[in-house]
Amino acid sequence: MASFDHTRTLILLIVLTIFLSPTSSAVSPPSSVCQYTQYPSFCRSNLPINNSSANVHDYGRFSVRKSISAANKFSNLINKYLSRSSSLTTGAIRALEDCQYLAGVNIDFLTSTFQTVDKSQTAISTMKSEDIQTMLSAILTNTQTCIDGIQAIASTWSSKNGVLAPLTNDNKLYSVSLSLFNRGWGKNKKKNTSGLHKKHVGFKNGSLPLKMSERSKAIFETVGRRKLLQTDDEGDQVVVSDIVVVSQDGSGNFTTISDAINFAPNKSQAADGYFMIYVTAGVYEEYVNIPKNKYYLMMIGDGINQTIITGDRNVVDGWTTFNSATFIVTAPNFVAVNITIRNTAGAVKHQAVALRNGADLSAFYSCSFEGYQDTLYTHSLRQFYRECDIYGTVDFIFGNAAVVFQNCNLYPRLPMANQFNAITAQGRTDPGQNTGTSIQNCNIRAAEDLGTTKTYLGRPWKEYSRTVYIKTFMDSLIDGSGWREWSGDFALNTSYYAEFDNTGPGSDTSRRVTWPGFHVINATDAVNFTTSSFILGDEFLPQTGVPYNGGL
């Protein structure tokens, strides 16, 4: 975590200045501020401010500062545990390494949040407000991911409570920060009330910057002629700064995808255009990780089942769910096209992720994700999937991103004996999070091997789980009840599950569950979960070249 050291030092100096100031005359926050949070008593006791006229912005800033201090303290705690790794099991080390990484991301996000709220009372754009709410939502998700990982190895690690106890308080503090931000700086999202917006963009050869080499231009034009991304008459363009080719026969620039990623520039800007990695047909047995500093990277293959990336890490063999993925991406503004990503561990190995996506403003177009339990981990931040195929069994689309699946094919397949299938397991833990899974204009059909396995639309992994199906074809494999409990009555009152204008024999809602959290909604409600409204797709998708419908 050395990359965070300089930032942490600066932030700690700020925090120390704040917390070493005299507090003898501190007053509790007025209940009118803390009442908007999930933890009002915690809020009142943990946010003392020496100003009886303090408003929600003052408390919001103070809460974010205190959150930075807590995140740094927790990161140092994890580092201390890992420094004694010789006494830890492999499972404990891997879980702690996940926590170490996630704590670093949280420090980054909190630092960015503070830079915004420290300069602003109320003047903040809709997109900036959405950015901050997204980061604060992801901080809670990251913390919960750490908790889940530690709990999974709890029986083999005696010191687990030394990590779980501080995380519980940290989670409350992060929740308070999110609530106060939403109250003080939050904006209503842009609403596409007509539901008619439609946008298609694509490659045009003329969009290439002159600095691109002649060889790369030729490759780009070859790829373009294969119509990997459709072009329409509106003249929209995808800007590409350069291209490298990955080919296993040695005819390209690299023989492995990882080498090409390492070569890509760091922290490119939108104006620079995408750095494109063209991966030719072949089966690539490698674990791909696109780190957070590889902004604006575009990866294009030769097609589903032509360019294949495959691995078999899984929980049974000692990996955490978080790090079992064949393909991991955390770099913002990532785009992938025409690629198959697999985890071949099989149903018997339980959790085994094909793709883990924690990349903000990322898009996958014409890709396939193949696995069994936990195939596609839409972990956090804002994501979009178009015309993708997704195969799996138990909870095979799970996580806590704000994500839209559009015109995709979902294929439940045969699980282990005595298991049922749940297509989604959405992980929203706080009502202030802007997260959820929206499945629009998709098709749900049985994979060839499914048989008579009971299959459900989803189940509530976390307390405020949120999933919506819109205009989706549901074949007869979907059980009439539609949705399945997680455990007893957990989250049946607090989750939000909704269906709108779906078709097919599995879409009949007359026998659906009667939970308070289940709804059959109208167009006015459904439009809130469209690409333009739910993930503000109009702000980032046009530059990607990925086609999308903004409304219903």
CATH number at residue 118: 1.20.140.40
Please check whether residue 331 lies inside any domain of the structure: yes
**Chain centroid offset of residue 524 CA:** 26
Q: To the nearest 10°, the Cα dihedral for 410, 452, 424, 96? A: -110
Give CA–CA dist 210/278, Å, rounded. Answer: 19
pLDDT at 227: 44
Q: Exposure of 65 by Cβ count < 10 A (0-12 exposed, 13-18 middle, 19+ buried)?
A: buried
Name, in order, each residue with C-beta under 8 angstroms of 195's C-beta and a sequence gap of 6 or more: 523, 527, 530, 551, 552
pTM of the predicted structure, to 2 decimals: 0.90
Backbone angles phi, psi at 394, to 5 degrees: -80, 120
In a domain, 474, yes or no: yes
Are 296 and 267 within 8 A, CB to CB? Answer: no
Residues 364 and 428 occupy one common structural domain: no
Pick the last residue of a domain from 185, 202, 231.
185
Final residue in a domain of this structure, among 136, 170, 185:
185
Distance CA(57)–CA(122), nearest Å, equals 8
Task: Give yes or no: residues 379 and 443 share one domain.
Answer: no
Query: Same domain for 429 and 385?
Result: no
Query: What is the Cα–Cα distance from 321 to 352, expressed in whole angstroms?
Result: 7
How many Å apart are CA 473 and CA 491, to the nearest integer? 26
Q: Which of 450, 442, 522, 536 is nearest to 134 (CA)?
A: 536
Same domain, 222 and 365: yes
Shared-domain flag, residues 167 and 93: yes
- Burial class (CB within 10 angstroms; exposed 0-12, middle 13-18, buried 19+) of 379: buried
CA atoms within 13 A on the CB side of 445: 8
| Residues 220 and 181 both lie in one domain | no
Task: Please report, for the domain that includes residue 234, its CATH number.
Answer: 2.160.20.10
- Annotated catalytic residues are 395
Q: Which two tokens stand for residue 159?
A: 């010191």
Closest CA to 79 of 2, 16, 150, 134: 2
Helix (H) or strand (E) holding 217: helix 214-225
User: Are 526 and 454 found together in one domain?
Assistant: yes
pLDDT of residue 241: 86
Instruction: State residue 192's pLDDT score.
Output: 47
Structure-token pair, residue 106:
């949280």
Name the burial class of residue 539, with classes exposed (0-12), middle (13-18) and buried (19+) by CB atoms within 10 angstroms of its CB. middle
Same structural domain, 364 and 282: yes
Does residue 153 share a domain with residue 87? yes
Total domain count for the chain?
Answer: 3
CA nearest neighbour of 203 among 545, 509, 498: 545
Domain assignment of residue 194, yes or no: no
Domain hosting 306: range is 215-392
450 and 498 fall within a common domain? yes
Q: Counting every residue, how long is the chain?
A: 552
Q: Which helix (H) or strand (E) holds 410?
A: strand 409-412
Residues 376 and 451 in one domain: no
The secondary structure of the chain in percent helix, strand, coil, rounded to multiples of 5, reads: 35, 20, 45
User: Is residue 287 in a domain?
Assistant: yes
435 and 345 together in one domain = no
Q: Among 372, 392, 412, where does a domain finish?
A: 392
Residue 2 maps to a domain: no
Q: Is 201 inside any structural domain?
A: no
pLDDT tens string, the chain, 552 residues long: the values are 444 455 554 444 444 444 433 333 334 445 688 988 999 999 988 887 766 778 899 999 999 999 999 999 999 999 999 998 888 999 999 999 999 999 999 999 999 999 999 987 777 888 999 999 999 999 999 999 999 999 998 888 888 889 999 999 999 999 999 999 999 998 765 544 444 344 443 444 444 443 445 665 566 566 654 444 544 444 456 888 889 999 999 999 999 999 999 999 999 999 888 999 999 999 999 999 999 999 999 999 999 999 999 999 999 999 999 999 999 999 999 999 999 999 999 999 999 999 999 999 999 999 999 999 999 999 999 999 999 999 999 999 999 999 999 999 999 999 999 999 999 999 999 999 999 999 999 999 999 999 999 999 999 999 999 999 999 999 999 999 999 999 999 999 999 999 999 999 999 999 999 999 999 999 999 999 999 999 999 999 999 989 999 999
* 424 φ, ψ (degrees, to nearest 5): -125, 150
> Please, which residues have CB within 8 angstroms of residue 230's CB and are 6 or more apart in sequence?
200, 202, 547
In one-letter notation, the amino acid at residue 254 is F
Is 199 a member of any domain?
no
Report CA dihedral (164, 169, 170, 173) to the nearest 10 degrees. 160
Would 306 be classed as within a structural domain? yes
